[in-house]
Amino acid sequence: MAAQGATLIESLEQLVWFLWETASERPFYFLLAFVIPLLGLAIFCVYILLHLVAPKPRLPFPSEKTYITTNPDGTVCAPRPLPCWYDRWRAEGKQSQEYPTIPAGFPVPEEPTIEPAEVEMSVVIPAYNEEARITAALEEMVEYLDQQFGRPNNHGQLLQPQERQEKSTQKGGKKSSKRATTPHRLVFKPDSPGSTSRPTSSSGPSEPPQPSGYEILVVDDGSRDRTVDVALAFSRKHGLHDVLRVVKLAKNRGKGGAVTHGLRHVRGKYAVFADADGASRFSDLGRLIEGCEDVVDGSNRGVAIGSRAHLVGSEAVVKRSAIRNFLMRSFHFVLMILTPPATSRIRDTQCGFKLFSRAALPHIVPYMHTEGWIFDIEMLMLAESAPATPVLASDGSVIGTSYGIKVAEVPVGWHEVDGSKMNLVHDSIRMAIGLAVLRASWMLGVYRRRLT
């Protein structure tokens, strides 16, 4: 046995000396014969490994394509079909491929289009075992959304923001003393293609009715507590019948999977996802809309994300544990190395408060793969790599093209909330590994911009 070991060591020494002499005397031959083949083999092995370990989102179960809400009499309705712009978008994208015999001149869109909005604002709340925290978050959301967007009353007519405030005042006897909300502006430019702005004159050409109101989609990510019951009780108490919709996932998918599922079914002109813990100040939604307005392109594509970067030197962050601050800085350093330029410049990618214009959704949501904590970064990478769109002059003529969807990073109010599901060390390591897998998968073509 010892003799075999000595023979093996001697053979390895001879091989090393042979490679060293070859590299010294004939470097070009060494490069072609050894280095390049080994490098190619390594890349091939990594490619195969990524196919095995890269996240592959599962298809939704039939029950996950439905929602429940409360009825005016306080009961819970039977499951109803959940509207899904993604299904139509996907069908249009495959139409010309699956039916090559379509007659010439048949109206088939060159690019899949997203169907028109039905409400002005959609809010997606991913929720996993959030019975203790979701009520406070919903209260803040509904107060702001009622005042800024209004919602239908019991007769199906839109209750305007001022009417809602007056009704609330009459019911409670005095106006709410909570902090003032931030007013929002209209994102879509009046003169841009596909604009949905209101006409300035009643004598002008007729336009389709404009979406108004809002919806809240609570995506229950396989909770084992009373999250669904608490959300429905809140809907019953505040009369949010068919405004607050609960979607129950049959199996836990992770925060990214829940957000992606919710965004596939939004009906709003804008779509925002917000954490169920209420850590981000929801009245800063107006700032996100203004940020989106500042960066939207000629196709009305824009993204605005809440940022806590301005709080880095604040007391709330300084008092965190040393290990937490170290892990935060380390993750940001890894992020700068592994992400493309525009994404790497974002100071806070993980804040759970991000808004999308409706036109931006088809360039991001259908291509999502990550369902864990790292999903925010994939969203931003997809926005950065979105196809080009025309750049328009003031007269509407095309003067160039612009690649990618611009992202506005907007400072928002934020505070620490107890009850986080995140394991600090364990999940930080998983996020770093997940980021490396994500970046490698897009670089090597394991992930692609294609219908799956």
Same structural domain, 44 and 166: no
pLDDT band at 287 (very low <50, low <70, confident <90, very high): very high
The pTM for the full model equals 0.81
The partner residues of 408 in beta bridges, in order of sequence, read 304
Domain membership flag for residue 166: yes
Report which DSSP code applies to 313: T
pLDDT computed for residue 198 by the predictor: 41
Q: Give a yes or no: residue 220 inside a domain.
A: yes
Question: Measured between alpha carbons, how far is 355 from 285 in angstroms, rounded to an integer?
Answer: 8
Q: Check if the beta carbon of residue 276 is closer than 8 Å to that of residue 127.
A: yes
Residue 156 lies in a domain: yes
Q: What is the CATH number of the domain that holds 255?
A: 3.90.550.10
| pLDDT the model gives residue 98 | 58
Top pLDDT among 258 and 181 is at 258
Domain that holds residue 32: 2-52
Within a domain: residue 379? yes
Torsion of CA 325, 378, 305, 249, to 10 degrees: -100
Do 122 and 41 lie in a common domain? no
CA distance to 154, 168, 319, per residue, from 142 (Å)? 17, 12, 32
CB 64 within 8 A of CB 249: yes
pLDDT at 377: 94
- The total number of residues shown for the chain amounts to 452
- Within-domain flag for 201: no
Residue 134 in tokens:
């979701």
Three-state DSSP class for residue 389: strand
16-75 pLDDT, tens per residue? 776 677 777 777 777 777 778 888 888 889 889 998 888 888 899 999 999 999 999 999
Positive or negative CA dihedral for 275, 271, 300, 367?
positive
Same domain, 8 and 137: no
Q: CA-CA distance, 107 to 99, in Å (whole number)?
A: 13
Residue of 59 and 328 predicted with greater confidence: 59
- Provide the β-strand partners of residue 305: 354, 409
**Could you report the per-residue pLDDT of 305-322, keeping only the tens digit for each?**
999 887 766 665 545 556
Region 230-248: mean pLDDT is: 96
For residue 450, being part of any structural domain is answered with no
Residue 76's pLDDT is 95
Domain-located, residue 248: yes
Bridge partners (DSSP) listed for residue 34: none
Q: Are 381 and 346 in contact (CB under 8 A)?
A: no
Q: What number is the average pLDDT over the span 84-88? A: 91
Which range among 278-287, 327-336, 347-356 shows the weakest confidence by mean pLDDT? Answer: 327-336
Q: Which of 33, 52, 71 is the last residue of a domain?
A: 52
| Rounded Cα distance, 74 and 22, in Å | 83
Residues 276 and 159 in one domain: yes
Closest CA to 250 of 219, 283, 277: 219
Average of pLDDT values for 395-424?
80
Are both 21 and 161 inside the same structural domain?
no
Residue 159 in 3-state DSSP? strand
